[in-house]
A and B are shown apart, each in its own frame.
Chain A
Amino acid sequence: MDLSFSPEHLAFREEVRAFLRSALPPHLRDKAAVDGNFDHHEVMEWHKILFKKGWVAPHWPAELGGPGLDVTQRFILTEELELSGAPTLSAFGVYMVGPLLIQFGSDAQKKRFLPKILAGEEVWCQGYSEPNAGSDLASLKTRAEDDGQGNFVVTGQKTWTTYAQYADWIFCLVRTDPTVKKQSGISFLLIDVKSPGVTVKPFLTTGGTPAFCETFFDGVVVPKENLVGPLHGGWTMAKALLGHERTLIAAVGLSSRQIRRIKKIAAGTPAGGASLLEDPGFRNKIARLEIKLRALQMANYRAIASAQLGHAPGPESSILKIRGSEILQQTGELAMELMGMNSLTWFNEEGTVPAIEQWVPSTFNYLRATTIYGGSNEIQKNIIAKLILGLG
């Protein structure tokens, strides 16, 4: 039983910290200090800095441009990036379509797409959900029909296509056979967003930022070489992808940063001649949340240590998404509560509330998404009930 990181891993953590201290440009650092909302250009600016360092895709194999890190180093890198407040890179290329191409793509597809994902030269978004296919994703209806001339013709609508307005490519689950069991007629297709017939309509999230989009496909011609894996084999591949990198989904670093910010807000909020951090009720409330996070962190450590030793994910790893997303939401709620009347603020000019509080109301709203995306927590519970507890 050993809870300590090895000297090599501790040294790696120091290396990451040193890099972050020097590499994060001042204007991004200032924004990070108040947990500002980074726009697309800022995210891509940071993407390119990380690319130069070779740390864009911690979990990719070295021969495809990954840094060749082990499980624990990947976790350390991710945690330190989260703790620093640096922009979070878009997950769609690096964490979703990239690993899928690595596992299932043809050599030509890997050669064509992976380098540009790494370099940040092509931005990706995800076309999974549809207006009538949310948790029941396999009921999706967007059709891809063979035109007999080497192409698919795609017609339908995708939703929650986050950051599609900035994307060059979208990876889609499409129906290629409507006559069989719904899971068996789905294929995985890469579509150029600039193709004729693709329309992207951004809309605001409750956080007041334009993250979400709807994407419409009207007779879009897609060459067959953009099919990944076997025809009608998309569902299996999409499911395989969900199992990746579970230890990162707990977002322990993000929540730690949030709790630190909560303490700072409390320390800066006067109450009865002292600060809210001295208020026993609030102080204990913060402590309770931190303890919850610490329990999750320990479960995450167990999952990492187990993966580092090459074991298959144990039952402890299946709870990470559920509890991690709940805690992240609760950090937003507690920050709002500490702010009192300041929590009413909504995109007012600088100085209306302390800088550290400026983005809290937006974040608080957007964090409602954490228990929904990536397979809603209810879906996660269905899976655990069936696969681990043997209920059904």
Chain B
Amino acid sequence: MNFDLTDEQKLLLDSVASFVKKQSPVSRHRALREDPIGWSREVWQRMGEYGWLGLALPEEVGGLGGTFADVALILEQLGTALTPEPFLPSLVASIPILRLGTAEQKQTYLAPFAEGRTSLALAWAEPRSRFDVSDVETRAVKVGDKYRIDGSKRWVLNGHAADTILVSARTSDGERGEGEISLFALDRDTPGLTITPVKTMDGHHAAMLTLTAVEVSVDRRLGAEGAAIAALEEAMDIGAAAACAEGAGIARAVLDMTTDYLRTREQFGVKIGSFQALQHRAVDMFVEVQLCKSTAILAAIKVSDPDVVERKGAVSAAKVQLAVGGRFVTQQAIQLHGGIGVTDEHDVGLYFKRMHVLNALFGDEEHHVNRYARLPSFTAGLAS
């Protein structure tokens, strides 16, 4: 066991911290809330130049061959300042391309992303799917050497801006079978694809998609027909682990913000941080911050575990901790700030909103408790 950062990781962390401080304080996100894109292509390209986007990608597509644990360090640090660039949605979408794509497809979709010239999105959610990536109604019917895709997708993160959008579709007549799901990589200007931008609570944007007789060639399909489910599930787990990393950064940031406030705000002629009721609440927050950080590390390491049960158990545990702990920390941050915490002009509300969004993405608390409780590992060895 060793959780110390390597020298390379320390350097990376320093450079992200310095970026956040100098180039992307919360005020940048605040200003971009009203922008129709909500993030900056110029900053995105810089992130590509820094090597952050391709950090965990293989070298043949311009990546650095790092691990997800490295990426998690970036995400956590970006979380502390609510950096708005679509790091998380692009990362999630890169997973199925990596797992299923041909060498040529990887080159086409991942190389420009690693350079920060394009961003990605993964469209999987549908009106009835909730958090089940296999509950897909969108259909892709093979007609000659093309597929015709019809259906709709909801809450596609970065769908409003992504250059490449991955769309999951059922490639058989079945209703719910897991072995019938395929993924297609679509350009945003594909005829028949309607992208309706929507705003999300955290000041970001997403898109609702309608696909009407969208025709794509077979070479847009990632992997064999009907074989996308494992990669989709892994992408969801990467998303959940990424949310845990970003959430750990958010939790730490709001705790710092809150203890700063407790040390400066005066009432009854004294600093309010001298009141034991508030001290203990701050410690309760601190406990959750430590646990969120610990489980974010757990998820960051185990999300790459080849043992899928092990991966799912660790990721679900971490996502539940983020839901419970992250919610508590951000709620109490507002409470301890008092009235100012409920105003739009104070940053604490921005963190509260982002934490809610992270908790609702890639499986919420209930979803992950259910999943955890039904893994074979949960009841293993009870007979002895």
The residues of A with any CB-CB pair to B shorter than 8 Å are 1-6, 72, 260, 263-264, 267, 277, 280, 283-284, 286-288, 290-292, 294-296, 298-299, 301-302, 304-306, 308-309, 315-316, 319, 322-323, 378, 381-382, 384-386, 388-392
Contact of B291 among A4, A72, A319, A384 (CB under 8 A): A319
Given contacts A319-B291, A391-B273, A392-B273, contact A1 B297 (CB under 8 A): yes
B65 CB to closest chain A CB (Å) equals 15
B268 CB to closest chain A CB (Å) equals 16
Which residues does chain B contribute within 8 Å of A302, judged by CB atoms? 3, 294, 297
Given contacts A263-B379, A315-B290, A319-B287, contact A385 B295 (CB under 8 A): no
A315, A378, A385 pick with most chain B CB within 10 angstroms: A385
The answer to whether B182 has its CB under 8 Å from any CB of chain A is no
Do the beta carbons of A291 and B301 come within 8 Å of each other?
A: no
Contact of B259 among A264, A299, A309, A391 (CB under 8 A): A391
Do the beta carbons of A323 and B379 come within 8 Å of each other?
A: no
CA distance A280 to B283 in the complex (A): 33
Contact of A294 among B280, B317, B379 (CB under 8 A): B317
The answer to whether B327 has its CB under 8 Å from any CB of chain A is no
CA distance A192 to B2 in the complex (A): 45
- A5 nearest in chain B by CB position: B1
Do the beta carbons of A291 and B372 come within 8 Å of each other?
A: yes
A4, A301, A381, A390 pick with most chain B CB within 10 angstroms: A381
8 contacts between A and B (CB under 8 A): A263-B379, A291-B369, A304-B1, A305-B1, A305-B4, A323-B291, A382-B280, A391-B279
Do the beta carbons of B279 and A3 come within 8 Å of each other?
A: no
The answer to whether B50 has its CB under 8 Å from any CB of chain A is no
Do the beta carbons of B321 and A295 come within 8 Å of each other?
A: yes
Do the beta carbons of A295 and B295 come within 8 Å of each other?
A: yes
Do the beta carbons of A299 and B273 come within 8 Å of each other?
A: no
- List CB contacts (< 8 Å) of B294-323 with chain A: 294-295, 297-298, 300-302, 316-318, 320-321
Which residues does chain B contribute within 8 Å of A280, judged by CB atoms? 370
Given contacts A299-B294, A315-B290, A316-B290, contact A381 B280 (CB under 8 A): yes
The answer to whether B274 has its CB under 8 Å from any CB of chain A is yes
- B72 nearest in chain A by CB position: A1
Which residues does chain A contribute within 8 Å of B321, judged by CB atoms? 291-292, 295
Contact of B3 among A1, A315, A381 (CB under 8 A): A1
CA distance A280 to B1 in the complex (A): 35
The residues of B with any CB-CB pair to A shorter than 8 Å are 1-4, 67, 69, 259, 262-263, 273-274, 276, 278-280, 282-284, 286-287, 290-291, 293-295, 297-298, 300-302, 316-318, 320-321, 325, 369-370, 372-374, 378-379, 382
A84 CB to closest chain B CB (Å) equals 13
Do the beta carbons of A295 and B373 come within 8 Å of each other?
A: no
Given contacts A3-B1, A385-B279, A385-B283, contact A286 B301 (CB under 8 A): no
7 shortest interchain CB distances as A-B pairs: A287-B373, A385-B279, A391-B273, A298-B294, A305-B1, A299-B294, A381-B283
CA distance A382 to B259 in the complex (A): 14
Do the beta carbons of B283 and A384 come within 8 Å of each other?
A: yes
CA distance A295 to B318 in the complex (A): 7
Given contacts A277-B379, A284-B369, A391-B273, contact A322 B279 (CB under 8 A): no
Which residues does chain B contribute within 8 Å of A306, judged by CB atoms? 3-4
A35 CB to closest chain B CB (Å) equals 15
Do the beta carbons of A287 and B372 come within 8 Å of each other?
A: yes
Contact of B274 among A260, A309, A388, A392 (CB under 8 A): A392
